[in-house]
Homo-oligomer: A and B are copies of this chain.
Amino acid sequence: MMYHKIPDETVRRLPIYLRGLMVSADQGHEHISSQALADFVGVQSWQIRKDFSYFGDFGTRGVGYPIGKLAREIRRILRLDVIRRAALVGVGDLGSALLAYPGFGGYGLEIVAAFDIDPEKVGRLINGIRVEDSSQVDTLGERGISLAIVAVPRTEAQSTIDRLAEAGVRGILNFAPCKVAVPGRVKVITLDIAMELARLPYYMPAEGSSEHPPGGQQELAAGSIVT
């Protein structure tokens, strides 16, 4: 195999594969074919083989891919091979739900700090994490936390993110429905939940008539923005 830059679209799919590999490993398998993984995650088998071919010859012909080894390699590429600690800013309904969300662990991600501006919430213990006052985000640098989740109202998003960037945070998952500006050393993924739902009617078959464009495509990209 030659050295290739891994295409962005492939990077986007790697977490999907990783998710599938983890479940398959749970079921006790040690190898999986591109076809089996394809059925499992909803991507075509040749797409999977092509994607994997960008970073090495992992498969064995006639057998498939070794699940453990492949998962390890994907984790390495995505830089999930070290446990990463994350902070949450904004302990409202969504923020609280994220604190309780069990899914991050599988990717080596862990929320270890939470901040809110509301004195009512500061000091409360949620899922084992003590809510701190928002002014304390400045301490994230010293604490070695470089990942943050922002779940504050739209009007507060930019100022919150400015502060996080200043504190040394380098990756932000933003749930506020707006574009935010950040220095080049910081990456932001904006995830606007309502916007995702808003894409749905377009792809739904029409109720009464059948005058609608959308064809039968199976996979589509979503609307997050990475800055």
Contacts and interface: CB of A to CB of B under 8 A. Distances in A.
How many copies of this chain does one complex carry? 2
A184 interface: yes
Interface in A79-113: 79-80, 84, 86, 92-94, 96-98, 100-101, 103-104, 106-107, 109
B222 A221 contact: yes
B171 A204 contact: yes
A9 B199 CA distance: 12
Q: What DSSP secondary structure best describes chain A's contact surface?
A: mixed
B221 A103 contact: no
A169 B11 CA distance: 32
A36 interface: no
A77 interface: yes
A8 B219 CA distance: 10
Contacts of A177: 19, 103
A106 to B, nearest CB: 7
Given A101-B194, A106-B194, A227-B42, A220 B8 contact: yes
Contact of A101 (B20, B170, B193, B218): B193
A204 B187 contact: yes
Interface residues of A, number: 79
B185 A9 contact: no
Contact of A11 (B92, B97, B179, B199): B199
Given A97-B94, A177-B103, A226 B197 contact: no
Given A195-B19, A222-B224, A226-B219, A93 B100 contact: yes
27 contacts: A12-B221, A12-B223, A15-B192, A15-B198, A15-B199, A15-B223, A16-B195, A18-B198, A40-B179, A42-B225, A42-B227, A78-B198, A78-B199, A79-B201, A79-B202, A80-B201, A86-B197, A94-B97, A94-B101, A103-B177, A171-B201, A187-B203, A187-B205, A196-B224, A203-B226, A222-B222, A222-B224
